[in-house]
């Protein structure tokens, strides 16, 4: 049960929101947003990810010859590498569109044309694009499964799934108290995770400066989904309750001047000392890359969960690809 | 039989032209230009491509472990990706030289040295280079098969073969009437295709503004090869006869000012309405990327063949690699 | 026995130098510098490389599914491609971090964080970084084997091993007289090779302009290791004795003006005529890329060993990876 903080109770126009998908498997669908996943979907992915995580090298005959096209219209080290690793650990391979400056896009080709060409080469597509909505638009033009690997300020569902998997492995997804701290205004990671957590029995605390609190639309969305959510400006109040502390980066470029940034960012950094007031086994997460939000002295504590979290990208993306390719691979 | 238009009848100095190769297979040769391919060669590639196209995922044990080096000295999304896909669909793999700005070339290494190093790593090389003649020069330094994947204004034979394959699948290569429209002056794709089509019973119509008509040397070449060729400034005259309409892009940078460009380019764009005057089953082709030469409303018509054409890059390049690697792979 | 030249006899403070590793295999170690390799280590790698060189395509089932992460923080065509080829020839594959400008590094991520993430994806890491000491630092954060693929002015042990392999194959490593010519001041390749050769019965001659002679620290190091080393300003004096002539590039940017550079560089270029005064079977080596240090007319002589040397990168890196992965792959 959440204590203190400001409970979210918002009115406002909901707008038209997409209905939750009720499907249990994701057979031959695109994965565009975590919102399309039901609790059963999430549990199916996580269960399979757990199998794969137990021995990531043991499934090399699962999808032999399957090709995942990596269409990354903006850079991403860990998402791209972990999709690549996932495809290869399943016995498949990737084909890489390469950097945009080297591609037909530079010649003025539309995204729709690009993905329609690529679908002729590959069995699935992972698409990252700077424009919100790009993945949904692209998915309307292709028949092979397409995974949204980030569309600007939009969605990044495989990140949400790996966050959920990490939480599940470290604290469980029921009767959970999580604190999410940092830049809550611009962080799509945070918005998607918060929504996905409404499928479970979770108390969510959001800790940020006033200027970076959750956007009104997200608060409304969570409220509508019946989330148990509170907002705070300071970590102290809620820290002792947390099973998970999810830290995100406060970006320098959001602030008018350096001094203002330093003042704010300094309040949301954590050190080993910070954790003195927390539960012994609080799991500290971070989507990485971090700059200085988490003191490296925490790296060696058992609480440091962020590298495991990054590593979980592989089994979770293996599970995703496995479910999406299931009919195509058909080798079980 | 072609009607109307201006028949090509040119004199002029032929210069020394390379004799046609008479080989039936391409065993351990380089593929530098479509001109080196006899009708029998082309038919061998197309027959094998058809086998591969029927099930592109079924040949994963054909060349296990074969490595194709991708040496792309200038960007190319679809050529590179489809070579990569082709190698992988055959059970092989690629090694990628990466972008030129990241390579030894930046340190001043000669192309000859680069390919001599790379041939020690790979079983075949696909080379794209901005300089005409680069592939021929490079081929003189290596023993592994080298495929010219485009050498500036020169040749791009695998593009020609996939064009031929697409024509063969959609309209057949005999008793064919094709119209090629757009930038005929600078389009190497067009020149190679025109020459290759002289191996078959084809009526070729070339439609372009006067300023972008086929270069004199290409016209002479086609004339010498006994081609049945006519030139037009307007599509209307010849459209009803066409089995295939091959559209290419008119590049903005060829024109002194924007207004002039718009006036000319506008005349060579096609829409669904344009096709009203064409045969019901005319196949519309385009090497892609397109900008606005073909209205997207055509995409959903059965006439739209350009995405199939791009997809044909895979089986055709599989066939090419298969023939070039035949002795090396030796697993039939 | 070396004749003429200036014998190296230096005093000076040795500083703390790392002790030689006495291990015979490199099981689950990192390879950071050639200095950590004993004579037995080197011989183990070279023996295995010889096996692999005999048939580089025959070991495709040796490490199925093994993933080598390529973390190249600065460009390198041949090192990267040959690591990639080596991994694939062993039945493994690579995952590529891509260019730095496309990576999380650009967002300010530390090298330690990057490699800690990557170790969760891969079974081994090849790291190139512009900063001396980067590989050692990074290795302290990861449990998977890490190979230093070049750390600025520091080390590049797999280059040293392929140099040793090339020397062994062409002239043997005992009772050998080698001349190393060119830029001896800045060439890490040269420093590592010189040190590694102290494990064998080798006479080393160093030929360079005064301004580019071996740094004092390297001379001291060789002296301490009991090396048989002499320095020369001219090749003529020592050329007739040499079994191997190892040429390196004199870099333009080391000189204040173009004229000075041309004067010096010209003295250290070799042509077919130069070799008239050498042993008939002197092996000419070069780490490549070359600019104009070696006249292309030498390329067709049996003495030209530099392309073989580059090609040896594959079997040597196969041997390295094989030894490093031995426990992980476990398929012997």
How confident is the model over B119-151, as pLDDT tens digits? 999 999 999 999 999 999 999 999 999 999 999
Residue to substitute from A66, A78, A248, interface C, most C β-carbons within 10 A: A78
Judged by CB atoms closer than 8 Å, whether chains meet at C307 and B120 is answered as: yes
Is residue A156 annotated as part of the catalytic site, yes or no? yes
CA distance C157 to chain A (A): 26
Judged by CB atoms closer than 8 Å, whether chains meet at C85 and B116 is answered as: no
Helices (H), A181-300: 188-197, 216-224, 258-267
Is the pLDDT score of A28 beyond 50?
no
SS (HEC) of B178-224: EEEECCCCCCHHHHHHHHHHCCCCEEEEEECCHHHCCCHHHHHHHHH
Confidence of residue C17 (pLDDT cuts 50, 70, 90): very low
> What's the pLDDT score for residue C284?
98
Give the C-alpha separation, B90 to A67, whole Å.
Answer: 12
Domain A158-311 coded CATH 3.40.50.1370 = yes
Please provide the CATH number assigned to the domain covering A34-156+313-329.
Answer: 3.40.50.1370
> What's the pLDDT score for residue B13?
35
CA distance A299 to chain B (A): 34
Q: B59, exposed or middle or buried, with CB in 10 Å at 0-12, 13-18, 19+? A: middle
In DSSP notation, C139-184 reads HTT-SS-EEEEEETTS--HHHHHHHHHHHHHHT-SSSEEEEEES--
Is the pLDDT score of A2 beyond 50?
no
A neighbours by CB contacts (3+ pairs under 8 Å)? B, C
Out of B81, B88, B289, name the one closest to residue A118 (CB).
Answer: B81
Mean pLDDT across A9-24: 36
Residue to substitute from C78, C250, C287, C313, interface B, most B β-carbons within 10 A: C78
The secondary structure element, H or E, covering residue C94 is strand C93-96
Looking at A30, A62, A79, A185, which residue is catalytic?
A79
Give contacts of B 285-324 with C, CB under 8 A. Answer: none
Question: How is residue C95 annotated by DSSP?
Answer: E
Judged by CB atoms closer than 8 Å, whether chains meet at B105 and C307 is answered as: no
Is the pLDDT score of A49 beyond 80?
yes
Mean pLDDT across C139-156: 93
Is residue C203 annotated as part of the catalytic site, yes or no? no
Is residue A106 annotated as part of the catalytic site, yes or no? no
pLDDT for B204-246, tens place per residue? 999 999 999 999 999 999 999 999 999 999 999 999 999 999 9
Instruction: Between B229 and A258, name the one with better pLDDT.
Output: B229
Give contacts of B 152-171 with A, CB under 8 A. Answer: none
C75 chain-B contacts, CB cut-off 8 A: 98, 101-103, 106
> What's the pLDDT score for residue B257?
85
SS3 C82: helix
Q: In which residue ranges of chain B is CATH 3.40.50.1370 found?
A: 34-157+312-327, 158-307
Q: Is B58 on the interface with A (CB under 8 A)?
A: no
Is residue B156 annotated as part of the catalytic site, yes or no? yes
- Is A14:A235 a contact under the CB 8 Å cutoff? no
- Paired with C69 in beta bridges are C95, C125
Question: How is residue C186 annotated by DSSP?
Answer: S
Mean pLDDT across chain A: 88
Looking at C30, C156, C195, C219, which residue is catalytic?
C156
Instruction: Between B312 and B105, name the one with better pLDDT.
Output: B312
Confidence of residue C260 (pLDDT cuts 50, 70, 90): confident
Nearest to B68 by CA among B87, B45, B85: B87
Instruction: Between C42 and A103, name the one with better pLDDT.
Output: C42
Tell me the two tokens of residue C129: 């970084």
Out of B60, B88, B310, name the one closest to residue A120 (CB).
Answer: B310
Judged by CB atoms closer than 8 Å, whether chains meet at A88 and C65 is answered as: yes
CA distance C327 to chain A (A): 14
Query: Minimum mean pLDDT among A23-27, A63-67, B146-150, C227-231: which range?
Result: A23-27
> What's the pLDDT score for residue B106?
66
Sign (positive or negative) of CA dihedral C43, C48, C51, C56: negative
Confidence of residue A19 (pLDDT cuts 50, 70, 90): very low
Out of B93, B104, B112, name the one closest to residue C77 (CB).
Answer: B104
Give the C-alpha separation, A259 to A249, whole Å.
Answer: 17
Q: How many CB atoms lie within 10 A of CB C308?
A: 17
Is the pLDDT score of C314 beyond 70?
yes
Q: C316, exposed or middle or buried, with CB in 10 Å at 0-12, 13-18, 19+? A: buried
Q: B277, exposed or middle or buried, with CB in 10 Å at 0-12, 13-18, 19+? A: exposed
CA distance A306 to chain C (A): 9
Confidence of residue B102 (pLDDT cuts 50, 70, 90): low
Instruction: Between C106 and A162, name the one with better pLDDT.
Output: A162
Give the C-alpha separation, B61 to A64, whole Å.
Answer: 11
Looking at A63, A128, A223, A230, which residue is catalytic?
A128
Confidence of residue C5 (pLDDT cuts 50, 70, 90): low
Please name the residue that has the structure tokens 């903005």: B252
- Is B76:B317 a contact under the CB 8 Å cutoff? no
Mean pLDDT across C64-73: 95
Q: What is the percent of chain C with per-residue pLDDT over 90, rounded to a whole number? A: 74
Q: How many CB atoms lie within 10 A of CB B109?
A: 18
> What's the pLDDT score for residue B265?
84
Confidence of residue C104 (pLDDT cuts 50, 70, 90): low
Looking at B20, B28, B59, B78, which residue is catalytic?
B78
Q: C23, exposed or middle or buried, with CB in 10 Å at 0-12, 13-18, 19+? A: middle
Looking at A20, A50, A78, A80, which residue is catalytic?
A78
Is the pLDDT score of C11 beyond 60?
no
> What's the pLDDT score for residue A9?
46
> What's the pLDDT score for residue C19?
32
Is the pLDDT score of B15 beyond 50?
no
Q: How many CB atoms lie within 10 A of CB A169?
A: 18
Point out the annotated binding site of C for carbamoyl phosphate. Answer: 78-79, 128, 156, 159, 288-289
Q: In which residue ranges of chain A is CATH 3.40.50.1370 found?
A: 34-156+313-329, 158-311
3-state percent helix, strand, coil for chain C, nearest multiple of 5: 40, 15, 45
Cis, bond preceding C108 (omega within 30 deg of 0): no
Tell me the two tokens of residue B77: 């999304």
Query: Minimum mean pLDDT among B176-185, C103-112, C301-310: which range?
Result: C103-112
Out of A80, A99, A310, name the one closest to residue C117 (CB).
Answer: A310
- Is B25:B332 a contact under the CB 8 Å cutoff? no
Question: How is residue A306 annotated by DSSP?
Answer: H
Nearest to A166 by CA among A305, A15, A5: A305
Mean pLDDT across chain C: 88
The reply, when asked if residue B198 is annotated as ligand binding, is no
Domain B34-157+312-327: which topology?
A: Rossmann fold (3.40.50)
Radius of gyration of chain A (CA): 20
- Is A314:C121 a contact under the CB 8 Å cutoff? yes
Mean pLDDT across chain B: 88
Judged by CB atoms closer than 8 Å, whether chains meet at C57 and B69 is answered as: no
Nearest to B285 by CA among B158, B190, B148, B209: B190
Confidence of residue B95 (pLDDT cuts 50, 70, 90): very high
Mean pLDDT across C15-22: 34
**CATH class (in words) of the domain with range B158-307:** alpha beta
Count how many residues are written for chain C. Answer: 332
Give the C-alpha separation, B248 to C247, whole Å.
Answer: 50
Tell me the two tokens of residue C202: 């080798």
Mean pLDDT across A41-54: 96
> What's the pLDDT score for residue B254?
78
Is the pLDDT score of B20 beyond 50?
no
Helices (H), chain C: 39-54, 77-89, 111-118, 134-139, 157-170, 188-197, 216-224, 258-267, 306-311, 313-329
């Amino acid at each position: 049960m959440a204590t203190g903080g400001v409970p979210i109770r918002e009115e406002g126009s909901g707008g038209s929101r997409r209905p939750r998908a009720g499907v249990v498997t994701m057979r031959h669908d695109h994965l565009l947003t975590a919102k399309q996943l039901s609790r059963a979907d999430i549990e199916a992915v996580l269960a399979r990810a757990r199998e794969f995580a137990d021995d990531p090298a043991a499934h090399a005959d699962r999808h032999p010859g399957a090709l995942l096209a990596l269409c990354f219209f903006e850079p991403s080290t860990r998402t791209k590498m972990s999709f690549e690793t996932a495809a290869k650990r399943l016995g498949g391979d990737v084909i890489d569109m390469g950097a945009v400056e080297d591609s037909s896009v530079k010649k003025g080709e539309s995204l729709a044309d690009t993905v329609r060409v690529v679908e002729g080469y590959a069995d699935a597509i992972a698409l990252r694009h700077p424009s919100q909505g790009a993945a949904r638009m692209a998915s309307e033009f292709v028949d092979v499964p397409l995974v949204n690997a980030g569309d600007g300020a939009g969605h990044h569902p495989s990140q949400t799934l790996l966050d959920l998997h990490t939480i599940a492995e470290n604290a469980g997804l029921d009767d959970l108290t999580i604190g999410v701290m940092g830049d809550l205004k611009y962080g799509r990671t945070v918005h998607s995770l918060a929504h996905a957590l409404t499928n479970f029995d979770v108390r969510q605390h959001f800790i940020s400066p006033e200027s970076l609190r959750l956007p009104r639309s997200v608060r409304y969305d969570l409220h509508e989904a019946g989330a148990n959510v509170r907002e705070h400006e300071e970590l102290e109040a809620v820290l002792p309750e947390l099973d998970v502390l999810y830290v995100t980066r406060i970006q320098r470029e959001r602030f008018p001047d350096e001094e203002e940034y330093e003042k704010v960012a300094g309040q949301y950094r954590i050190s080993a000392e910070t954790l003195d007031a927390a539960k012994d086994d609080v799991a500290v997460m971070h989507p990485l890359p971090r700059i200085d939000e988490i003191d490296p002295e925490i790296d060696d504590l058992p609480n440091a969960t962020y590298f495991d979290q990054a590593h979980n990208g592989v089994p979770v993306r293996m599970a995703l690809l496995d479910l999406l390719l299931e009919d195509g691979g058909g080798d079980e």
